[in-house]
Structure 1
Amino acid sequence: MSTSPDTVTRSAATNKSGPRSVQVVRSNLLLHAVLIIGALAMALPFAWMLFSSFKPLGEIFIQPPKLLPQDWNVDGYGTALGGADFVRGFWNSTYIALTVTAISLLTSAMAAYAFARIDFWGRRGLFMVFLATMMVPGQLTIIPLYLIMGGLGWVDSHLALIVPAALFNAFGVFLLRQYVRGIPVELEEAAEIDGAGRIRRFVTIILPLLRTPLTALGIFTFLGQWNNFFSPLIFLNSTENFTLPLLVNQFKGQFTSDWPALMAATTLLAAPMLIMFAVAQRQIVEGVALSGSKS
């Protein structure tokens, strides 16, 4: 019985691709195993923090360590939420982060549009200087910034946290400029022919097309302000003005610490971030990709 050439060709292709398919499957399994191990290693501190918030103080340092509490209780959450300071700090952190995020998105989009579309003298050099500020640690500029805030009378005021962060965001300008440069100029030229001015073109054409990077930048900015500990520590003195990171730090004493209350307060502080990441994971990944995808 004779075999057709097509049958021989298909059999040879199947035999050739078989080992390669097995190798691909093994590589994928190995990759997923490594990723799962890494994910578990990163999730373990969060799990330890969460379960420790339900432990009594005597179980925190029990040997050998146990992840799950033996005696479940919510005394730590009662201590953390017992006073009005924590609720006030939650409000302070929320409105400061939201205010900085809203203003920063507007100012960053305007600056990015100017650097990408408006041809003015020294634009390239000014943008390089603007980006160079990202390489300067904030600790180096905190003393002159404190002197400026003191001269304005903003020390121990939330304005010291809102105004500098909202009006200057070098990363935000860089991210949005990369995306604006990828928007076809013909869209603005067509609107200009119809009589639209610069502001109208920015509002009606550019901003709607910046929805994805603006969402990613908003998430980054909000999380950065929510976790900000250094600036409030420097500028704020009154307990009623404290943000959540400062209040959480008060549960840690010089000689002893209320570990269940500290774990409970830290869990409450981290919960909004974890929820935001779970809801907006795709936008966060796209934002990281956009920062280097367009030139």
Structure 2
Amino acid sequence: MTIYRYALVILLAGVFVFPFIVMLTTAFKVSDEIFMAPPELLPRTWTLDHFVGALTQIPFFRFLLNTVVIAGLSVLGTVLVSPLVAYSLSKLRWKGRNLLFIMVLATMMLPPQVTLIPIYMMWNKVGATGTILPLIVPAFLGTPFFIFLIRQFLLSVPDELIEAAKVDGASEFRIYWSIVLPIARPALITSAVFQFVWAWTDFLYPLIYLNDEESYTLSIGLYSFLGEHGVQWGPLMASCVLFTLPAFLIFLVFQRYFIGGIATGALK
């Protein structure tokens, strides 16, 4: 049975990994080999021309900088605000706490398409459309999913530890900063990785709010390779490889904390 289970896992992994392998090998193929019949997975002639085209045909580094700024500020807002809200909903006792937590959970049930137009009208009224503010400010207001995730993790922190710190004269913020946050590091890193990947790969919201090419992100920039006379598959695949690499490296570095944070949240 163990052999069959491993075989099934390998088969499923192959199904999910195969598109990425095709993307990677296509980026190194010469143009004549991309649609060669019958198709071949590995290129006969390896080339870096498509990567050169990806870096020169669009302002790649400008788009990269914009994406890094938006993703970085979104992560900063997430790790600053969401843990504060989660701490108040898990360790502070105040009237209406449970009701507010239910309201936070209720907002997670709303599809983003439902609130897309009202939120756009709100940003348009304050003159923020065309800027990166609609893409980063929501992270500084707290994200329901991350509040829920971190709260579930903080429930595992013993109340006796917090009470002992209060007896020693520690303030509420000192307890939060010096005791709770270090313990909650797996949940914080998990939230940061989630937020980074979401902000890095987001296409819809930058498309809606950014109307100046100077402020485009990489996800929108990749669309430049889709012209009315066809698709430049080689440079597009090379750009996708470069676009995917940072998110892959981030997950690879922090996967230990990422998996631990998810597992703890699920157990709670």
Query: 2:148 corresponds to which letter in structure 1?
Result: F
Match of 1:62 in 2: 36
Match of 1:121 in 2: 95
Contact 1:157 1:235 in 2 (8 A): yes
Match of 1:147 in 2: 121
Match of 1:189 in 2: 163
Q: Kindly report which structure 2 residues correspond to 1:101-250, keeping only aligned pairs within 5 A, or say none.
A: 101-250=75-224
1:41: how far off? 2.0
1:229: how far off? 0.7
Separation in 2, partners of 1:197, 1:159: 34
Task: Give the SS at the match of 1:65.
Answer: coil
Contact 1:79 1:261 in 2 (8 A): yes
Separation in 2, partners of 1:83, 1:177: 46
Query: 2:100 corresponds to which letter in structure 1?
Result: L
1:47: how far off? 0.9
Identity of aligned residues (%): 37
1:204-235 Cα shifts (integer Å, max 9, x gaps): 11111111111111111111111111110100
Contact 1:175 1:290 in 2 (8 A): no
Contact 2:25 2:42 in 1 (8 A): yes
Separation in 2, partners of 1:290, 1:243: 34
Separation in 2, partners of 1:149, 1:93: 20
Task: Give the SS at the match of 1:277.
Answer: helix
Separation in 2, partners of 1:254, 1:145: 32
Separation in 1, partners of 2:228, 2:25: 24
Find the structure with the greater CA-based Rg: 1
Separation in 1, partners of 2:174, 2:209: 39
1:251: how far off? 0.8
Separation in 1, partners of 2:170, 2:261: 30
Match of 1:22 in 2: none
1:74: how far off? 1.8
Match of 2:236 in 1: 262
Separation in 1, partners of 2:216, 2:169: 50
Contact 2:186 2:258 in 1 (8 A): no
1:74 to 41, 45, 48: 48
Contact 1:108 1:172 in 2 (8 A): yes
How many residue pairs were aligned?
268
Match of 1:42 in 2: 16
Which has the higher mean CA deviation after the structures are superposed, 202-211 or 82-91? 82-91
1:97 aligns with 2:61: no
Contact 1:233 1:246 in 2 (8 A): yes
Query: 2:13 corresponds to which letter in structure 1?
Result: A
Match of 2:253 in 1: 279
* TM-score, normalization by structure 2: 0.95
Match of 2:26 in 1: 52
Task: Give the SS at the match of 1:81.
Answer: helix
Query: 1:292 corresponds to which letter in structure 2?
Result: A
Contact 1:57 1:258 in 2 (8 A): no
Task: Give the SS at the match of 1:163.
Answer: helix
Query: 1:121 corresponds to which letter in structure 2?
Result: K
Give the root-mean-square deviation of aligned CA atoms: 1.4
Separation in 1, partners of 2:59, 2:129: 20
Task: Give the SS at the match of 2:202.
Answer: coil
Contact 1:101 1:166 in 2 (8 A): no
Separation in 2, partners of 1:206, 1:279: 23
